[in-house]
Amino acid sequence: MIAIETEGLTKDFPVGFWRPRPYRALDGVTLRVEANEVFGFLGPNGAGKTTTLKLLMRLVYPTAGRIAILGRPAGDPGVQRRIGFLPEAPYFYDYLTAEELLTYFAGLFGIRNPDRRTRVSALLDRVGIGGERRLPLRKFSKGMLQRVGLAQALINDPEVVFLDEPMSGLDPIGRRDVRDIILSLRDRGCTVFFSSHILSDAEALCSRVGMLVGGKMVATGSVSELVAFKVAGWDLVVAGVDPDRLGALGPGVRAVVSMIGGRSALDLAPECEPERVIAAVRDLGGRVVSLNPLRATLEDVFLAQVRASQAASPAGRMMPEG
């Protein structure tokens, strides 16, 4: 069952007052997200991620192309009941408290008391908002607003959740919490669609990702498909051996970096066998601290795509948001 589907989605914005010229924010974006997937929608700032989300949420109307969510067109009221949305850097009615906001939104879904009260309370607990829930939202920090945003996205127990930069503004604890929530959503059978420019989050969470650069989809697939499992070398950290003697261990040792505490980091070429170097280190009286393979990461793929796309269209685009 396909949770989210777009086909040839294009959006032009008119720019300029007297003779508006169209600025193509999105160009023929096609993507497909299966049910119960966690889909990472990646791209640099200005690529069009937020625009895509707004189109999915029907806050913006497409110039061309088609959208379907849970098999229904975007904006269908039946669909709106089953989805949740967290906008980027969310802002709420600052005259309301967190509790009042969630109660309001729950009311819009037709959720009545006593179910409403329990849901609001439980959600606030889940996103980590304690006693502050009775404070007006204007007193909330960015991180707390982000949490409230997540709560209001989940108030109706949605089947598909759309998150725009969910980790932004959060400290490491907050980010871990959000990660946990996303994973728990997946475990409960939800589909999660989130956009981010922080790739490490995507690597950890997503079953599939899509990359948007300059308004165009440049790559989609599972993380493992995009990142060829190819070892590019080894990172070996040893201790107790004089760094000068390490360089002499063989041609495979590409670099030696001294670290604090008498340790050294060796950069080994892929064809070099790490076991042989380890044995040599032991002979010298040292010991191994750690051994890590160096692989291409999503970031490398990402940067390569960005460079390629910039080479293709060198004329700069104006800076929209998202």
Which residues are at the interface with another protein (CB under 8 A)? 5, 7, 13, 54, 57-62, 65-68, 72-77, 80-81, 83, 85, 87, 90-93, 95-96, 104-105, 107-110, 149, 152, 156, 320-321
Which two three-digit tokens encode residue 291? Answer: 């051994």
Residues 6+ apart with CB under 8 A from 294: 231, 232, 233, 234, 235, 267
Closest CA to 160 of 43, 81, 273, 50: 81
Measured from the CB atom, is 59 or 296 closer to another protein? 59
Measured from the CB atom, is 9 or 170 closer to another protein? 9
- Residue 187 CB, nearest approach to another protein (Å): 24
Measured from the CB atom, is 9 or 249 closer to another protein? 9
Measured from the CB atom, is 34 or 299 closer to another protein? 34
Measured from the CB atom, is 111 or 183 closer to another protein? 111
- Residue 47 CB, nearest approach to another protein (Å): 16
- Residue 241 CA to residue 282 CA, distance in Å, equals 9
Q: Identify the three-state secondary structure at position 129.
A: coil
- Residue 47 CA to residue 196 CA, distance in Å, equals 11
Measured from the CB atom, is 93 or 231 closer to another protein? 93
Measured from the CB atom, is 145 or 265 closer to another protein? 145
Which two three-digit tokens encode residue 77? Answer: 């009221």
Please count the CA atoms within 13 angstroms of the CA of 306 that sit on its side-chain side: 13
- Residue 220 CB, nearest approach to another protein (Å): 18
- Residue 250 CB, nearest approach to another protein (Å): 59
Q: What is the DSSP letter of 20?
A: P
User: DSSP states of 302-320 as a string?
Assistant: HHHHHHHHHHH--SPPP--
- Residue 27 CB, nearest approach to another protein (Å): 17
Degrees to nearest 5, angle at CA 198 with 215 and 102: 90
Which H helix or E strand runs over 274? helix 274-283
- Residue 154 CB, nearest approach to another protein (Å): 13
E-assigned strand segments in 259-297: 263-268, 287-295
What is the torsional sign of CA 256, 257, 258, 261?
negative
Measured from the CB atom, is 135 or 278 closer to another protein? 135
Q: How many residues does the chain have?
A: 322
Measured from the CB atom, is 65 or 240 closer to another protein? 65
- Residue 271 CB, nearest approach to another protein (Å): 50
- Residue 55 CB, nearest approach to another protein (Å): 9
Helices and strands in the chain: count of H runs, count of E runs? 11, 14
Q: Identify the three-state secondary structure at position 232.
A: strand
Closest CA to 261 of 239, 236, 232: 239
- Residue 160 CB, nearest approach to another protein (Å): 12
Q: Tell me if 55 sits within 8 A of 11, measured CB to CB.
A: yes
